[in-house]
Structure 1
Amino acid sequence: MSIYKYWGFGLDILSEIPFPELSPVTSFEQAHVNIRMGEMPEIPDGFTFSTGSISYTMNDHELLFTVRDVGKYYVKDGDTIIIRPDHAGIEMRLLRLFVLAAAMAGILQQRRIIPMHTGSLLIDSKLTLIAGRSGAGKSTTLAGLMNKQYRIFSDDIVVLANGADHQMHGIASYPMIKLWEQSMQAFEYEDRSFPIMPGMEKYGLFFHDDFDTRAYPINRVILLKLSDDGRFTTERLSGGNAFEAVVEHIYKPSFFNSPDMRVLKFKTITQLLQNTEVYQIARPANCAPDELLSRVTALI
């Protein structure tokens, strides 16, 4: 059996299956996370909930989730992921997608680490995070920034970590940016060789050669949203307004709702905001990608 070694989300990962999305490494002393195929253990007790086609059961140190027509995933103690496909013919790309999403979010939650659902740029050795709910323009903005030769640090997830300087740092997840067809067309990207999942017009663009595994201090957060009045506005947020706006972009927020996790969220986001400027850009529902891009670049 082949064994594959990767780095991702700030962790050394040992896997029975290949992950072209992750950054390969030649060696490490001991893996932080082991990924393998196998049978699903039972979780005797836990909190159960569903989101769309995924049902979850979790307790303090275990997560079991089922993706309809894809498979089951078991995550334990922040170091183990077990996968059981629904059937032998399942497309591996689809199976991996949920490892890189909910399963790794479970690993981080069990390790008491907060992931943010945000893209990021590396500018002068500091990070600018760019976040927004679906439809707000994050993917289009990242595509435009990449087109203008800004350095993309991480596309969809940034892991928060305390720095030795007591400032909150960000760690990249993996070297792939995911773009919708609309963004691909707007900025004339032609590589559609890696569709994210069957039937979805969203594609992965790799940047392994430029991927940086170091942690960098975060000094700026830009939040995108649709405006209520059809106009562009840019506002700097502070205090409780900044906290409430930023905490909404924690990745897989339903994983961080226990009393202990709420304390962790409060401490982590509070520390992040101590040295970070937070801006909110509201944009019209229909606007040219370049117009939104110019609003973002004006802040960076």
Structure 2
Amino acid sequence: MAVLTAQLARPTLGGIDNPHLSAALDAFAWAIPGESETKRSPGDSALSTHWPVEANGRAIAGQRMRAFVDDWYDRIHISPAQLDLGNVVSTQTTAVSLWNAYREPRTLLGVSGLDEGIELSGQLAAPLTFTALQERIWQVAVTPDGAPVLDTTLAWTFDNGATAELRITANRIIAWSFAPDWADGVLERLTWATDILQSESGVEQRRAIRLAPRREFEAMLYVEGRERQLLDLALFGWGSRTWALPVWPDIQLLDQPVALGATRIACATAGLDFAVGRLALLRGESAFVGSAHETG
């Protein structure tokens, strides 16, 4: 059997060839020098940081590119921005949301433009704090009370001068809930307007001045007691207002009462003056119980 001559090589630990080092030392946690030691040089003088190091600095002309953040953030968003309510015969309530798109809190200082017949609810009174990117919802109600023609703007003003505006347009109409006296009947009158041009030879040219004939109703009213007082007060206070007059010949009685909050009423519409976007009058047993609603 051959005999080989060799030498035992000791492993190097930590870059030091020391036979007294043990691998068990790796089980101990590292000791990090304190801040006071790391910031001092061997001469016990404080060290200072010189970052970043500038070398061969030069100015470069450029332009900042706009992004989506510039179009959407750092402003106040309102939705919707306009309410076109058309004919208002009863209280119309619409939810309006305001979103603080600023990435910092904003304070609402107040709301201007609250004319007669416009009510605002759903939030606390100003001053009111909006946190960053917070949305709040108000309920804007327009009642039949107030000016006949409504064209106003509500403005929410914030502490940095930003404003959110809501334009409201409407025509306030009063429902005519007084019933006619059917004993004398109801007279319906249609009036056209035509312009007739005649030449020297006697040839005539006729053209309509109105797109549709003027429609009028004439009837005697049957009112007594409290209804008579209501009629006098209504004509005195709202005589110059626009009234929603029902088409009396198209009256019909409902087979069953209408539930509170119902959005659909079963009735006959064939051959009658019902149309989408127009008004329908609901009347109870007296003129005190009546309201007009838009059909859909």
Q: What is the TM-score with the length of structure 2 in the denominator?
A: 0.20
User: Which protein has the larger Cα radius of gyration, Structure 1 or Structure 2?
Assistant: 2
- More relative contact order, 1 or 2 (CA 8 Å, 6+ apart): 1
Higher helix proportion (structure 1 or 2)? 1
Q: What is the TM-score with the length of structure 1 in the denominator?
A: 0.20
